Chains A and B, each alone.
Chain A
């Protein structure tokens, strides 16, 4: 029986457009785009040229500092374009999919008999290493480091996210294989944070169940409650959605397909779909979006941590959701500061929706407006209500903006990732871009320390 950890702080944003538990088909991906920016902390060195033919599993780019970390093509076809931005920064590598799915031959790995080094090199060569992130800094894990423990979050509690128990159905063996492989990579343990009541049975791992609202599914929150990170320690984190892919590929089937939700109030029939990382949103969403006069927002990821990718954008390497909501940029709402607020989503009791708890009981259609101007921090105590870690979020934020390294360390910067602050950003009346600040702070701090 897994031990249960109950969290009271947090918030489930009750959005309209929850995915029904069934798989729907999508158009085949005509092309996929690998976006180096998905992999925080690595600098890409592209090893292919436009026009070159590639198989699924061929290396597309490597990490400049750690050339052993490889990023591979999920499809076979040809490299269409290497998109570069300012100062020749690689924005994406577009690969045209020939649909044949010829893949490089990878050795199968049996975690029971394989050594840690064999597993490591198999993962690096198959291009599935980048699924592993490390804390501190929330970057792609450094293969040379031995992590204290590996933490796997086995549910996504973000709004409209997929239900893990639905996704894992039929893929239990892959999950187990992935977990067993990971267990070989640490001298510590693999801790799995599962949703309360999910009754996940896994070997080679210690399962904890978490009850409570989002961000209970954030691995950072789980680490903080299971075994917090101290200065000098390194832990690795992987999402169980990605462990399935790891297990599948280690088992010999080179297939990066992931099951995501296509959800949000602008989707006709929200459901689950199998997609490739890098697939364009337009191919996933074809025929699924409502026709409206107002503009819509196409988000790769969930509404808290996703990106406004646009219809031509692509689903990211780690994304579990594609969300479509109204953009709202063409809305004129009068006198927002004084209307009773029965129909405006707010957790704050300054609106009737917050006072009467309607934000919990009713499903909401939210658009992407900030609904206020940016201000200095005024109200106190709001962030803490949605931050279930033994950390003072506001104090840490202030240490980051003043770039006081000692204070950042002392207040727990090594334990957090930007996603942990997403709800703070959501509820903040001063509309502070908290995630961006923390992300920038982590990048700066890593440069300083490494």
Chain B
């Protein structure tokens, strides 16, 4: 079967998109689909390495997407679970998952359509191959927003991020800041009311549009506030708060960043395949833990170290955001410094700036900004060593 398909594509379809073909302008888009179906036939040129390792950027990005799946699946269930808690009902884990899925799907469609649409248009204009980076970004975006974020906001923020955080720098591999986090930051600063508060993290209405469901009402004493909101307004009580809930992920929060356990499962895959740097991941957690311990020593009501690492987007940022190789440090020594910096900053922002209940997003963006500087000094040490050799 596949042979016939090959021949059909190679003989009938392919020429249409090549130079001089009827649809040559759409070559980039055709190529992006074709390379998903088949490994490119392109062979090494006259000079240069004649054989290549079979790893390519598609495979690397796909590993990230697979690693996101546990966090996403648990997160979707949690959306339904929080909904049920708010309404005081329980219709089983499967219905809860379905509820989450229905609430999530429009967001991911919007994110991919807007983001990939722009990327493909730019690639077609430049007659380049479509890079895969946005496949991960486009999934990350709906995963890190509150469930009640309106679709048009996601569309605007995604467009902003893809154009201004990525394409103007030259596209995948050239960007300074993590595009998914730029989307989140754009939402946070442009529409603060939709990004924080009690009403945004738990959907109480219908799954698709959040319209009130007839005959239901929220239970007495329901608050959709996240634990970090409680930390910010000083009502958090570390002693009575269940760290296990935060670890498993049955607390309110952005869609897929609640379950530390599921995130760690993804982390296992990223570390096993070596797609993410263990240096960065380890040092983010270490930096966060050390900073939490220091704060805990002075303030008994502050969340414990375990709570700090499980709450909010900390674990998600450590595993999926800080480890983005493009926007992080590229030298091995730099990776340790970069990770620790993010871990420390995330906790500092969370504890001392009540305007930002969650510090992880800001910390990673700050880390992105200083990563080149860290690398500069690491490489400078090598330069100095060489310069000293001349003098000696």
A contact residues vs B (CB 8 Å cutoff) = 13, 15, 228, 230-232, 297, 299, 303-309, 323, 325, 327-338, 341, 344-351, 354-355, 366-381, 384, 390-392, 394-395, 410-412, 422, 425-431, 433, 435-436
Decide: B389 and A411 in contact? CB cutoff 8 A. no
Given contacts A369-B40, A381-B330, contact A325 B51 (CB under 8 A): yes
**Across the interface, which residues of B come within 8 angstroms of A426, CB to CB?**
49, 51-53
One of A306, A380, A429, A436 near B57 (C-beta < 8 A) = A429
B379 close to chain A: CB less than 8 A: yes
**Across the interface, which residues of A come within 8 angstroms of B274, CB to CB?**
348-350
B12 close to chain A: CB less than 8 A: no
**Across the interface, which residues of B come within 8 angstroms of A431, CB to CB?**
52, 56
Cβ distance A4 to chain B, nearest Cβ, rounded Å: 23
Decide: B41 and A392 in contact? CB cutoff 8 A. no
Cβ distance A393 to chain B, nearest Cβ, rounded Å: 11
Decide: A435 and B59 in contact? CB cutoff 8 A. no
Cβ distance A373 to chain B, nearest Cβ, rounded Å: 5
Q: Type the 1/0 row for B47-77, where 1 means its CB is closer than 8 Å to any CB of A.
A: 1111111111111101100000000000000
**Across the interface, which residues of A come within 8 angstroms of B45, CB to CB?**
308, 433
Cβ distance B126 to chain A, nearest Cβ, rounded Å: 13
Q: What's the Cα separation between A380 and B326 when bound, in Å?
A: 8
Q: What's the Cα separation between A231 and B62 when bound, in Å?
A: 44
Which chain B residue lies CB-closest to A421? B49
Interface range for B: 35 or more
**Across the interface, which residues of B come within 8 angstroms of A307, CB to CB?**
46-47
Which chain A residue lies CB-closest to B31? A373
Decide: B56 and A230 in contact? CB cutoff 8 A. no
Decide: B59 and A373 in contact? CB cutoff 8 A. no
Q: What's the Cα separation between A333 and B48 when bound, in Å?
A: 23
Q: What's the Cα separation between A308 and B56 when bound, in Å?
A: 22
Which chain B residue lies CB-closest to A412? B386
Q: What's the Cα separation between A213 and B52 when bound, in Å?
A: 17
Decide: B60 and A350 in contact? CB cutoff 8 A. yes
Decide: B41 and A303 in contact? CB cutoff 8 A. no
Give me 16 other A-B pairs in contact (C-beta within 8 A), A351-B55, A371-B40, A380-B329 excluded: A308-B46, A331-B41, A332-B2, A333-B39, A336-B38, A344-B54, A346-B53, A366-B52, A367-B51, A370-B52, A372-B55, A376-B173, A391-B382, A394-B330, A411-B383, A435-B49
Which chain A residue lies CB-closest to B44? A368
Decide: A429 and B38 in contact? CB cutoff 8 A. no
B238 close to chain A: CB less than 8 A: no
Residue picked from B10, B35, B42, most chain A C-beta under 10 Å: B42
Please list 10 pairs of residues, one from A and one from B, whose beta carbons are closer than 8 Å in the complex, sorted by A's number. Answer: A328-B41, A337-B59, A351-B55, A368-B43, A384-B332, A410-B383, A411-B382, A425-B49, A429-B59, A436-B48
**Across the interface, which residues of A come within 8 angstroms of B390, CB to CB?**
230-232
**Across the interface, which residues of A come within 8 angstroms of B275, CB to CB?**
350, 379
Decide: B48 and A425 in contact? CB cutoff 8 A. yes
Residue picked from B55, B277, B382, most chain A C-beta under 10 Å: B55
Q: What's the Cα separation between A355 and B269 when bound, in Å?
A: 12
Given contacts A332-B41, A372-B40, A373-B40, contact A303 B53 (CB under 8 A): no
Decide: A327 and B36 in contact? CB cutoff 8 A. no
Residue picked from B54, B375, B379, most chain A C-beta under 10 Å: B54
Cβ distance A187 to chain B, nearest Cβ, rounded Å: 19
Decide: B58 and A369 in contact? CB cutoff 8 A. no
Q: What's the Cα separation between A228 and B60 when bound, in Å?
A: 36
Q: What's the Cα separation between A366 and B382 when bound, in Å?
A: 36
**Across the interface, which residues of A come within 8 angstroms of B41, CB to CB?**
328-332, 369
Which chain A residue lies CB-closest to B38? A332
Decide: B53 and A304 in contact? CB cutoff 8 A. no
Decide: A429 and B389 in contact? CB cutoff 8 A. no
Cβ distance B2 to chain A, nearest Cβ, rounded Å: 6
Decide: B54 and A338 in contact? CB cutoff 8 A. no
Which chain A residue lies CB-closest to B170? A376
**Across the interface, which residues of B come within 8 angstroms of A344, CB to CB?**
54
B37 close to chain A: CB less than 8 A: yes
